Structure 1
Amino acid sequence: MSTYTDRPWLALYPEGGPTDIAPEQATVLDVFRASLAAAPDAVAIRYFDGVLTLADLDTASDALAVGLADAGFAPGDRIGLYVQNDPAFVIGLLGAWKAGGVAVAVNPMNRARELTHLLTDSGATALLCLEELYESVARDVLPGTRVRTVVTCSALDRQSRDDERVLGGVVRSRPEGTLDLEELVTTTAGRRPAAASLAADDVAVLTYTSGTTGVPKGAMNTHANVVFNAQVYRDWVGLTPDDVVLGVAPLFHITGLVGHVAVALLTPCPLVLAHRFHPEVVLDAIREHRPTFTVGAVTVFIALAGVPGVGREDFASLRTVYSGGAPIAPAVTDSFEAVTGRYIHNVYGLTETNSPSHAVPLGRRAPVDPASGALSVGVPVYNTVVRVVGEDGGELPVGEVGELVTSGPQVVPGYWGRPEATAESLPGGELRTGDVGFMDAEGWFYLVDRKKDMINAAGYKVWPREVEDVLYGHPAVREAAVVGVPDAYRGETVKAFVSLKPGASVTPEEVIAFARERMAAYKYPRTVEVVAELPKTTTGKILRRELRDPAPG
Structure 2
Amino acid sequence: MSEAPDPTSLAEITLLRARRDASTPFVLTIEEEEPYTVCARSYGEIATRAQVLANALADAGVAPGEFVGCYLRNSPSWVVTSLGVWWCGAVVAAVGTLLPGVEAARLFAMADVKTVVTVSDAPELSGDLQVLRLDDEGLLEGKPDPGDSGWETADLRLPKEDELAVAIFTSGTTGRPKGITHTHGDVAAHARRVAAAYARTSAYRPDPAPPHLAPGAAFSPFGHMNGYSRLGFRMWIGRPTVVVPK
Question: Do they superpose with TM above 0.5?
Answer: yes
From 178, 181, 193, the equivalent of 1:232 is 193
Match of 2:215 in 1: 244
Distance 1:56 1:195, change over 3 A: closer
Partner of 1:97: 86
Partner of 2:52: 63
Match of 2:135 in 1: 154
The whole-number CA distance in structure 1 between the counterparts of 2:52 and 2:142 is 9
Secondary structure of 2:174's match?
coil
CA gap of 1:111–1:196, structure 2 versus 1, over 3 A, is: same
Tell me, in whole angstroms, the C-alpha distance in 1 between the residues paired with 2:238 and 2:127: 36
Give the aligned partner of residue 143 of structure 2: 183
For residue 225 of structure 1, report the CA deviation from its aligned partner: 0.5
Inter-partner Cα distance in structure 2 for 1:184 and 1:76 = 29
Per the alignment, residue 109 of structure 1 pairs with 98
How far apart, CA to CA, are the structure 1 residues paired with 2:5 and 2:221?
Answer: 26
Q: Is the 8 A contact 2:95 2:104 kept in 1?
A: yes
If you compute each CA radius of gyration, which structure gives the higher value, 1 or 2?
1
SS across alignment from 1:128: strand
Contact 2:48 2:150 in 1 (8 A): no
Q: Alpha-carbon deviation of 1:262?
A: 1.3
What letter is aligned with 1:250?
P
Alignment of 1:20-169 (within 5 A): 22=6, 26-48=8-30, 49-133=38-122, 136-138=123-125, 141-143=126-128, 147-148=129-130, 150-155=131-136, 157=137
1:269 to 231, 234, 239: 239
Task: Tell me by how many angstroms 1:226 deviates.
Answer: 0.4
Inter-partner Cα distance in structure 2 for 1:47 and 1:35: 20
Q: Is the 8 A contact 1:43 1:53 kept in 2?
A: yes
State whether residues 216 and 241 of structure 2, in contact with CA within 8 Å, keep that contact through their aligned partners in structure 1.
yes
Alpha-carbon distance between aligned partners in 1 of 2:244 and 2:15, rounded to the nearest angstrom: 25
Correspondence 1:389-404 to 2 at 5 A: none
1:204-223 equivalence runs, <5 A = 204-223=165-184
Deviations 1:286-341, CA, capped at 9 Å, x for gaps: xxxxxxxxxxxxxxxxxxxxxxxxxxxxxxxxxxxxxxxxxxxxxxxxxxxxxxxx
| Partners of 2:49 and 2:146 within 8 A in 1 | no
Q: What amino acid maps onto 1:42 in structure 2? A: T
Aligned partner of 1:137: which letter?
A: E
- 1:364-410 Cα shifts (integer Å, max 9, x gaps): xxxxxxxxxxxxxxxxxxxxxxxxxxxxxxxxxxxxxxxxxxxxxxx
Cα 1:52–1:214 change in 2 (3 A) is: same
Pairwise CA distance, 1:193: 4.7
Could you tell me whether the CA contact under 8 Å between 2:95 and 2:222 is conserved in 1? no
For 1:234, give the aligned amino acid: A
Partner SS state of residue 124, structure 2: helix
Partner Cα distance (1:21, 1:219) in 2: 28
Cα displacement (A) at 1:27: 2.4
Partner residue of 2:227 out of 237, 242, 256: 256
Counterpart of 1:30, as a letter, is E
**Deviation, structure 1 residue 39:** 2.8
Q: 1:54 to 1:137 in 2, by over 3 A?
A: same
Q: TM-score under structure 2 normalisation? A: 0.81
**Secondary structure, aligned partner of 1:80:** strand
Aligned-residue offset at 1:126: 1.8
The residue correspondences of 1:383-532 to structure 2 (distance < 5 A) are none
1 CA distance for matches of 2:73 and 2:237?
Answer: 23
Q: Which amino acid aligns with 1:37?
A: R
Long gaps (5+) in structure 2: 31-37, 201-207
Q: Is the 8 A contact 2:195 2:237 kept in 1?
A: yes
Question: Does structure 1 retain, via aligned residues, the 8 Å contact 2:71–2:119?
Answer: yes
User: What is the alpha-carbon distance in structure 2 between the residues aligned to residue 208 and residue 69 of structure 1?
Assistant: 25
CA spacing shift, 1:107–1:55, aligned 2, 3 Å = same
Percent identical among aligned pairs is: 22
Given that residues 166 and 181 in structure 2 are in contact (C-alpha distance below 8 angstroms), is that contact kept between their aligned partners in structure 1?
A: yes
Which SS does the other structure have where 1:32 is aligned?
A: helix
| Cα distance in structure 2, aligned partners of 1:190 and 1:55 | 9
Equivalent residue letter for 2:73? Q
**Distance across 2 between alignment mates of 1:255 and 1:142:** 29
Shift of 1:235: 3.0
**1:15-42 superposed Cα distances (whole Å, 9 cap, x missing partner):** xxxx98557xx22212222222223211
Aligned partner of 2:135: which letter? S
Rounded Cα–Cα distance in structure 2 between residues aligned with 1:246 and 1:182? 30
Amino acid at match of 1:262: G
The RMSD of aligned alpha carbons is: 2.7
* Contact 1:46–1:52 under 8 Å retained in 2: yes
Alpha-carbon separation, structure 2, partners of 1:125 and 1:38: 36
Determine the C-alpha separation between the residues in 1 that align with 2:233 and 2:17.
11
SS state at 1:127 partner:
strand
Please state whether the residue corresponding to 2:28 is helix, strand or coil. Answer: strand
Q: Displacement, 1:86? A: 0.5
